[in-house]
Amino acid sequence: MPVALVTGGSRGIGAAIAAALAADGYDVAVGYRGGADAAAGVVAAIEATGRRGVALAADVAVEDEAAGLVSATEDALGPIDALVLNAGITRDGLFMRMSSEDWQSVIDTNLTGAFYVTRAALRGMLKRRGGSIVAVSSVVGLTGNPGQANYAAAKAGLIGMVKSLAREAGGRGVRVNAVAPGYIATDMTADLPDTTRDQILGATPLGRLGTPEDVAGVVSFLCSDAAGFITGSVISIDGGLAT
């Protein structure tokens, strides 16, 4: 059976991606940092479909833990066919008031964490001459957003990483893509002020927030053979917000 690792798979978008990949026939490792109960719930849902699941705690921003997440996945389930770089945080603040800590923690988790996990998984994919890597970037990485310079920089950085790695690894059959979700209804966006929410809805041609399943369907497609000639791409899933 094919194997997938989803970082940040315990909640929100990552949990939906883990469920979609299980439905596609993957055995799925669910990475998380602190939410053990949530991760166990996602694994139980995976196992209910007849696929294998495992919950693995690791802070992707810590190099050894990120590498350990990959080796623990391979020990539990086997070689990784699909890697989804979804773990992410926000620490919003206006640029002039942004602390160095808030800048660094977002870069460390959202960008450097993705680098650590990918580097650890890549060797096996290159050797086996196949694999699909999908990074969860953001519309904000394409457009910028006031109050999110750290987050936008990390998400734009992911796109540069994906496009570079797609060029390096394509010859060995490894595909590397990104998705750029707009505003998706999860814990991350639960505290948006009503005015901000109204502004976003007004600027979104489809007139609604996205769902985690909206993102999961596209990630599932990018991991599948149907996307066999797609690499280095960034697919927007934003209801038309950035068009």
Residues that bind ligand NAP (CB under 6 A): 7-8, 10-14, 31-35, 59-61, 86-89, 109, 113, 136, 138, 181, 183-184, 186-189
Q: How far is the CB of 37 from ligand NAP (least distance, A)?
A: 10
| Nearer residue to ligand NAP within complex by CB, 128 or 143 | 143
Please tell me the distance from the alpha carbon of residue 237 to that of residue 56, in angstroms, as a whole number: 28
How far is CA 155 from each of CA 106, 108, 222, 229, rounded to the nearest angstrom? 10, 12, 18, 24
Secondary structure tally for the chain: helices H, strands E: 9, 7
Query: What is the DSSP-derived secondary structure letter of residue 210?
Result: B
Q: How far is the CB of 234 from ligand NAP (least distance, A)?
A: 12
- Tokens of residue 28, six digits: 């799925």
How far is CA 26 from each of CA 103, 121, 139, rounded to the nearest angstrom? 35, 17, 28
- Tokens of residue 43, six digits: 């694994």
Q: How far is the CB of 102 from ligand NAP (least distance, A)?
A: 14
Residue 151 appears among annotated catalytic residues: yes
Q: How far is the CB of 173 from ligand NAP (least distance, A)?
A: 26
| Nearer residue to ligand NAP within complex by CB, 150 or 231 | 150
Q: Which of 26, 32, 116, 151 is catalytic?
A: 151
Residue with tokens 């978008």: 13
Q: What is the DSSP string of 10-50?
A: TSHHHHHHHHHHHHTT-EEEEEESS-HHHHHHHHHHHHHTT
Q: Any idea which residues carry the catalytic annotation?
A: 151
